[in-house]
């Protein structure tokens, strides 16, 4: 069978290096990080030293100028570690591209090299207490005062929120009536007066991810920290959501593959009435059904990755894939827990963590209901 994605020997060698790094520097520490509720920044710097962050940042800004398949490899191998605290794909493939694509030369030279090195950890601040998927409803304001922008408001459920050194923040000009022309994106450094980090949320899953609240009280940033043209924030967000949701699909499919592999191995080793539980027909059927869904998800995902690399507009297809792959991953998580039985519900069993961490995938990057609504609109329904 012809592979959809054409990985080269260089890609395969890169995957081996990434996997070896995670097995040495991440996997042994996951339980400790889960307990602490945060990943130490030293790991980000180690990733930067190895060249595993911000794959597509051009060489002139300290990056390696690699293709998107390198990002896919990092995301897939990170999924194998069975934790979500080290949110490198968010940093490398969702947040930093805003600076790469829309930042001024001054901003790119100032921040990109340190994003690549892991010195700066980034976050994206869009969601508010009363504005989630509906970006036009955000209330955080950005008011021009000479050469400064005065920011006031609150953001919530911000991944990397506590660790972040640099924030891409969405805010609106209260004077502009059209909400789609009022939004701008600003780069805000941690430590800026008026920018405070609140509590880290205690969540049902994603225990090692420092998801936090952020507060802005007369926070002043230079006007030069605005990304793109004034009023262009909403368009920029829409342009980057294709890749953001594709990254979500990568996490979902890779996670489902890892859960299924672990479960199959367990079923072959676990015996009941003198036979491996994989020998029971009902269990075989359940495994085959899950394996079929995972393969369907992989094929759909790889095709979309190939299209994305070619620069195609696949907003509708990615919306479909985001809802389907994340719900597929939940079905696989449920099926795997069932095959593990009572042991699957014990904290010592990693499948329990996988089950908890998978649930939120259908909510972030735009809820799956929003994904279906986008597809329905483009289908003329």
> For the chain, what is the mean pLDDT?
95
Question: Whole-angstrom Cα distance, residue 26 to residue 12?
Answer: 20
CB 183 within 8 A of CB 237: yes
Residue 376 has pLDDT above 90, yes or no: yes
pLDDT of residue 20: 98
pTM comes to: 0.94
Q: Which tens digits make up the pLDDT trace of 295-311?
A: 999 999 999 999 999 99
DSSP per residue over 106-120, as a string? Answer: HHHHHHHHHHHHTSS
pLDDT of residue 330: 97
Residue 1 has pLDDT above 70, yes or no: no
To the nearest whole percent, how much of the chain has pLDDT over 90? 89
CB 208 within 8 A of CB 185: no
Q: What is the DSSP letter of 201?
A: P
In the predicted model, what is the mean pLDDT of residues 308-320?
95
Q: Residues with Cβ < 8 Å from 97, sequence gap 6 or more?
A: 56, 240, 243
Residue 133 has pLDDT above 80, yes or no: no
To the nearest whole percent, how much of the chain has pLDDT over 70? 99
Residue 137 pLDDT level (bands cut at 50, 70, 90): confident
pLDDT of residue 134: 75
pLDDT of residue 61: 97
Question: Whole-angstrom Cα distance, residue 262 to residue 143?
Answer: 52
Q: Which tens digits make up the pLDDT trace of 184-226?
A: 999 999 999 999 999 899 999 999 999 999 999 999 999 999 9
Residue 345 pLDDT level (bands cut at 50, 70, 90): confident
Residue 131 has pLDDT above 90, yes or no: no
In the predicted model, what is the mean pLDDT of residues 65-87?
96
CB 123 within 8 A of CB 158: yes
In the predicted model, what is the mean pLDDT of residues 63-78?
96
Residue 346 pLDDT level (bands cut at 50, 70, 90): confident
Catalytic residues: 244
Domains of the chain, CATH where assigned: 9-120 (1.10.540.10), 124-230 (2.40.110.10), 235-378 (1.20.140.10)
């Amino acid at each position: 069978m012809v592979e959809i994605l054409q990985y080269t020997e260089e890609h395969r060698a890169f995957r081996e290096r990434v996997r070896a790094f995670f097995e040495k520097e991440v996997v042994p520490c996951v339980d400790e990080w889960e307990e602490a509720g945060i990943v130490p920044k030293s790991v980000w710097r180690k990733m930067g030293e190895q060249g595993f962050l911000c794959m597509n940042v051009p060489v002139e800004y300290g990056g390696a100028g690699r293709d998107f398949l390198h990002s896919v490899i990092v995301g897939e191998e990170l999924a194998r570690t069975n934790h979500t605290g080290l949110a490198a794909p968010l940093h490398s493939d969702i947040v930093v591209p805003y600076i790469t694509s829309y930042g001024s030369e001054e901003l790119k030279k100032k921040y990109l090299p340190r994003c690549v090195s892991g010195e700066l950890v980034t976050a994206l601040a869009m969601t508010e207490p009363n504005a989630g998927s509906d970006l036009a409803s955000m209330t955080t304001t950005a008011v021009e005062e000479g050469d400064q922008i005065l920011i006031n408001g609150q953001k919530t459920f911000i991944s990397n929120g506590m660790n972040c050194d640099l924030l891409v923040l969405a805010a609106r000009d209260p004077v502009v009536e059209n909400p789609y022309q009022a939004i701008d994106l600003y780069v805000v450094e941690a430590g800026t007066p008026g920018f405070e980090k609140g509590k880290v949320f205690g969540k049902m899953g994603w225990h090692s991810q420092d998801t936090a609240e952020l507060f802005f009280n007369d926070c002043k940033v230079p006007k030069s920290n605005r990304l793109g043209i004034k009023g262009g924030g909403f368009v920029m967000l829409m342009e980057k959501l294709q890749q953001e949701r594709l990254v979500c699909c990568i996490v979902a499919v890779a996670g489902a593959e890892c859960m299924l592999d672990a479960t199959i191995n367990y079923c072959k080793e676990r015996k009941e009435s003198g036979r491996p539980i994989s020998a029971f027909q009902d269990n075989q059927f359940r495994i085959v059904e899950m394996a079929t869904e995972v393969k369907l998800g992989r094929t759909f995902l790889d095709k979309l990755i190939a299209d994305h690399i070619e620069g195609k507009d696949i907003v509708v297809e990615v919306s479909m894939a985001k809802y389907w792959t994340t719900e597929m991953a939940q079905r696989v998580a449920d099926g795997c827990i069932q095959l593990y039985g009572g042991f699957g519900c014990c904290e010592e069993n990693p499948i329990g963590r996988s089950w908890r961490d998978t649930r939120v995938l259908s909510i972030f990057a735009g809820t799956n209901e929003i994904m279906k609504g986008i597809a329905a609109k483009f289908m003329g329904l």
